[in-house]
Amino acid sequence: MFKRIGLFVITNLAILLVLSFTARFLGVDRLLAANGLNVGGLLVFAAIFGFGGALISLAISKWSAKMMVGAQVIESPSSATERWVVETVRRHAQLAGIGMPEVAVYEAPEINAFATGANRNNALVAVSTGLLQNMTPDEAEAVLGHEISHVANGDMVTLALVQGVVNTFVIFLARVIGYLVDRVVLKNDRDSVGIGYWVTSIAAEIVLGFLATMIVMWFSRRREYRADAGGAQLAGREKMIAALERLKSAHEPSTLPAPVKAFGIWGGGSGGLALLFMSHPPLDDRIAALRAGVVASGLSLAR
């Protein structure tokens, strides 16, 4: 995890340096400085607040997920079904080379499951009662393999850091646009920013936020294909396809809370323009990718 965080911190610093150099090359920094805006200070501010929320959410992801869905961790299996779920997760985790996650069950009629956690060796895998009641053991095994693949691939950490990077851009660019409108377009020459800055920066943050969400959701959809391939490696391709077919036939919308939905086996939604804001690809596309072997490797299995 620390290697992954280090890589993204270095990447973000490189992005900030490129932004700073570009602003200097184009003369934007001089224009902004002349109008009272410190570009370097704004970059630091944007990075701190851009990453702050994303990393805090990641740090408390297990606790908050349990609270939001009412998941009950299986401390000691009380039934054959719970025992089977725990042992299946254990077997998949060993094959994937990660520590044993906490295993939980939450009450929900829909067929779903999710994984979360900041540490791949101390994660949480939770399944709905609807999944346990409506899926065959082979299908449930594949879903658990999919979730273990998310953990093994470090998807929770990566998605949080991608969110941090785009947050940084949104905060920085929205305030730059606000300053330019306030000082250059509206010719506000007072020591403090005017109403033009506040209105413009808020509007810019909303627009840029939509664009940022599209980027994050695009990445989220990409990792779903890889997790499907990982589930196929752990449980078998036909089992993974059967699990997705079962989800397709259920026709039930996902009721997972927004912070958890991206890590479920199914996020709900349809195609069209709505796809741009969906955390999961359409099930037909996922099934077709598995059948065609488009994603060659979902994860590197431990030896």
How many whole angstroms separate alpha carbon 134 and alpha carbon 130? 6
Structure tokens at 220: 């989220």
The Cα–Cα gap between 283 and 281 comes to: 6
Contact 225, 295 (CB under 8 A): yes
Are 84 and 106 a contacting pair, CB within 8 Å?
no
Q: Which residue has the tokens 């090359």?
A: 25
Strand pairing of 72-73 and 124-128? unpaired
Q: Which residue has the tokens 């297990």?
A: 62
Q: Which helix or strand (DSSP H or E) is residue 126 part of?
A: strand 124-128
110 carries an active-site annotation: no
Phi, psi (rounded to 5 degrees) for 23: -65, -40
Q: Is 80 left (phi over 0), alpha (psi -120 to 50) or beta?
A: alpha
- Determine contact, residues 68/273, Cβ cutoff 8 Å: no
| CA separation, residue 105 to residues 69, 102, 108 (Å) | 9, 10, 9
Q: Which of 102, 141, 147, 205 is catalytic?
A: 147
Which positions are annotated as active-site residues?
147
